[in-house]
Homo-oligomer: A and B are copies of this chain.
Amino acid sequence: MNKLYSKIKIKDIAEMAGVSAGTVDRVLHDRGDVSKKSREKVEKVLKKINYIPNIYASALASKKDFRFVAVIPKHNPEDYWEMIQNGILRAAEELSDFRVNVEIHAYDIFNIASFCKVMEDMIGSHPDGVLLAPSLKSVTFSYTCKMDELKIPYVFVDSRIEEAHPLAYFGQNSHLSGCLAGKLLLTLNPDIQEIAVFSFYNVGQIPANQISQRMAGFSSFMLEKKESCRLHRITLELGNQEKNEVAMSEIFLKNKSVEGAVIFSSRAYVVAEFLEKYNLKKQISFIGYDLLERNVKCMKNDSIDYLIAQRPDVQGNRGIKALSDHLIFKKPVNVLNYVPMDILIHKNIDFYLDFPNC
């Protein structure tokens, strides 16, 4: 409750350099109007000591407001994107005392025009920073180019576009995460010969980056480790339960030799609930992604064996924080941030859910 606390402050530096606090401040912020002589005196002191500004005092004194915009898909409350959004909103709260405001602009994932409209309006509003969940590669790229020109820093979450120049990326290494899915499936059933690989048919939309890369990773892994294994690709349709049920009956009921299944998008429950309904849980090893409530429920019913999670909340949270690290705290930020591929099974999923990541 006493003494101890001590840190070098601007005033101390001023004293050491034999100038005033104002001059030190001008040097620190490179704001000009400093003679060479004074600048050198200050810089000499700065080199000697390790000045760490009090960011809280700094934020308090600053009059700048920051406006960040997060552009993500429209979604339902139980969706994967909701978790990303939660992370974003949590960051917004944590940073509110630093005069940071975050707006969420949502686009329709099935409608490129909607994405374009959102992006154009967003860029037109001249935000200080942008968090972006990429849509179609070429389209997205044209907007990131515009932001490069306007010097608006942007970060990617979930997936990224190699050609762009984001401040940072937070997301999984999709290819390797597909390999992991393969590895887990082989652990469950080393002798597996036929696997059903599910994906969703996105009306008029090329499959997301993320998902096709996972698929590629999985395929190449299986090809290498178990060439003999046959992969059946089944395309499901969002909301068309009838058709999906037919497709799944075809593969699971008619063809009794399929012993495993994978899905690379977050709606594993669509398949898992089918497995439950027809009592196939034991025969079919099934692996999915992301901790949607319904997925978790299926896992607890043992219709999903493994879920691979990717800390979506952390992605959103750290994405926003990367922007403020760069713009407000002037900290260097890591560009490529691959989030861990968390392996969840019945036995450890509860602790994962209960413990706030970050």
Q: Which residues of A contact B (CB under 8 A)?
A: 1-5, 7, 54-57, 59-60, 64-67, 96-97, 99, 101, 128, 172-173, 176, 179-180, 183, 187-188, 337-345, 347-348, 351-352, 354-355, 357-358
Contact = CB atoms under 8 A, between A and B. Distances in A.
17 contacts: A1-B67, A4-B65, A5-B99, A7-B96, A56-B56, A56-B97, A57-B97, A176-B347, A180-B348, A183-B345, A183-B347, A337-B355, A339-B355, A340-B351, A340-B352, A342-B343, A357-B357
Contact of A348 (B66, B97, B341): B341
Contacts of A59: 56
A55 B97 contact: yes
A343 B341 CA distance: 10
Given A1-B66, A5-B99, 12 more contacts: A1-B64, A1-B65, A2-B65, A3-B65, A56-B59, A60-B60, A176-B351, A179-B347, A180-B348, A340-B355, A343-B345, A343-B348
Contacts of A4: 65, 67, 101
User: What is the count of identical protomers in the complex?
Assistant: 2
B337 A341 contact: no
> Which 6 residue pairs are nearest across A and B when measured between Cβ atoms?
A56-B56, A343-B343, A341-B348, A340-B352, A340-B351, A5-B99
Contacts of A183: 345, 347
Most buried by B among A172, A173, A342: A342
B5 A65 contact: yes
Contacts of A173: 351
A75 B337 CA distance: 31
Contacts of A358: 357-358
Contacts of A345: 183, 343
